[in-house]
């Protein structure tokens, strides 16, 4: 199946009251694992790369890897730029073959965030690519994305104005989540999320889901989240499996052997999170 955009995928999730799992990949094995999990569960899936990951390998390299795996897949696959740092990066990813992009202007003042988000959304829409943006902040650190401070929550009325003025296809909201693993117990403002859902028409996105409980993720999906991002826990699953393999066979020198162990661990982690999001079986519809 050819790569698809995220637009219809997320609109279907919004209508069906489930969320699409969006998983960050760092290498070929993680790309393979994410799509394998999606096929086994018959789920639509989004594969993401951050700006930091795209310093490790080019957008073209990741786009071609995902495209190659998607072409033989039986489920819809989208490749998405996660936390895009600039207009130029969004253009590079679209030219490379990405089928969805995010522009993250959440650190900017409100009007400046609107301006950059609208600029990317207009450019991407001209070639049929949907755009995600962010209002409010997701705390913690992920690659080059670092957020801190108390101003992390998305204001519902600002979210309504932001979505209407920018023309974005989906909106990431701040309700108390953080990138990376949590050092304490996260407290999510799900009532705020419900208020945002009441006034914003476009699909809503939850960042910083690694480490959230099943109940917390499901509670957010019930209140309108249509896309849930997972990154850190996939990296940990992959790395832990590789470390275990090498510890048990310290003489191994063939990367394919321990990377296959990492891939298998990611398959299981992705399947687990897909069932929590409720997107398993939705590619059959």
Q: How many CB atoms lie within 10 A of CB 237?
A: 21
Mean pLDDT (the chain) is 93
Strand 145-147 and strand 139-142: the pairing is antiparallel
Q: What is d(CA 138, CA 136) in angstroms, rounded to the nearest whole number?
A: 7
Provide the 3-class DSSP secondary structure of residue 180: coil
Average pLDDT over residues 133-162: 73
Q: Is 82 a catalytic residue?
A: yes
pTM: 0.92
- pLDDT above 90 coverage of the chain, percent: 86
Per-residue pLDDT tens over the stretch 171-199:
999 998 775 554 556 778 999 999 999 99
pLDDT for 208 equals 87
The first and second tokens of residue 124, run together, are 């991407």
* Lowest-pLDDT choice from 94-103, 115-124, 209-218: 209-218
Average pLDDT over residues 41-65: 97
The first and second tokens of residue 221, run together, are 């999906």
- Report whether pLDDT(285) > 80: no
* Lowest-pLDDT choice from 31-45, 125-139, 182-196: 182-196
pLDDT for 148 equals 47
pLDDT for 136 equals 85
Provide the 3-class DSSP secondary structure of residue 226: strand
- pLDDT above 70 coverage of the chain, percent: 92
Contacts of 103 (CB under 8 A, 6+ apart): 84, 86, 87, 90, 116, 117, 120, 121, 131, 132, 133
Note whether 36 and 271 are within 8 A (CB): no
Given the residues 12, 82, 104, 155, the one annotated as active site: 82
Q: Which residue has the higher pLDDT, 249 or 284?
A: 249
pLDDT for 183 equals 54
pLDDT for 210 equals 84
- For residue 151, name the pLDDT band (cuts at 50, 70, 90): low
Distance separating the N- and C-terminal Cα atoms of the chain: 15
Q: What is d(CA 70, CA 45) in angstroms, rounded to the nearest whole number?
A: 10
pLDDT for 182 equals 47
């Amino acid at each position: 199946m050819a790569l698809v955009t995220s637009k219809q995928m997320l609109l279907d999730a919004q209508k069906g009251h489930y969320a699409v799992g969006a998983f960050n990949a760092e290498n070929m094995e993680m790309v393979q694992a994410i799509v394998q999990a999606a096929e086994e569960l018959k789920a639509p899936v989004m594969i993401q790369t951050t700006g930091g990951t795209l310093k490790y390998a080019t957008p073209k390299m990741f786009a071609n890897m995902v495209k190659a795996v998607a072409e033989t897949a039986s489920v819809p696959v989208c490749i998405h730029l996660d936390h895009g740092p600039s207009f130029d990066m969004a253009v590079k990813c679209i030219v490379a073959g990405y089928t969805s992009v995010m522009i993250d202007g959440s650190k900017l003042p409100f009007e400046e965030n609107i301006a950059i988000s609208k600029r990317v959304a207009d450019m991407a829409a001209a070639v049929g690519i949907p755009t995600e943006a962010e209002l409010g902040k997701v705390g913690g650190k992920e690659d080059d994305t670092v957020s801190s401070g108390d101003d992390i929550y998305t204001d519902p009325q600002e979210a309504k104005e932001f979505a209407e003025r920018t023309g974005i296809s989906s909106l990431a909201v701040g309700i108390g989540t953080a990138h990376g693993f949590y050092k304490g117990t996260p407290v999510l403002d799900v009532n705020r999320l419900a208020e945002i859902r009441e006034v914003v028409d476009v699909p809503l996105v939850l960042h910083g889901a690694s480490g959230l409980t099943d109940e917390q993720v499901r509670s957010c999906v019930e209140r309108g989240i249509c896309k849930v991002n997972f990154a850190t826990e996939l990296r940990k699953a992959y790395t832990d499996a590789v470390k275990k393999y090498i510890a048990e066979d310290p003489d191994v020198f063939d990367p394919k052997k321990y990377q296959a162990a990492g891939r298998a661990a990611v398959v299981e982690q992705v399947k687990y999170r897909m069932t929590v999001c409720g997107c398993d079986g939705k590619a059959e519809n």
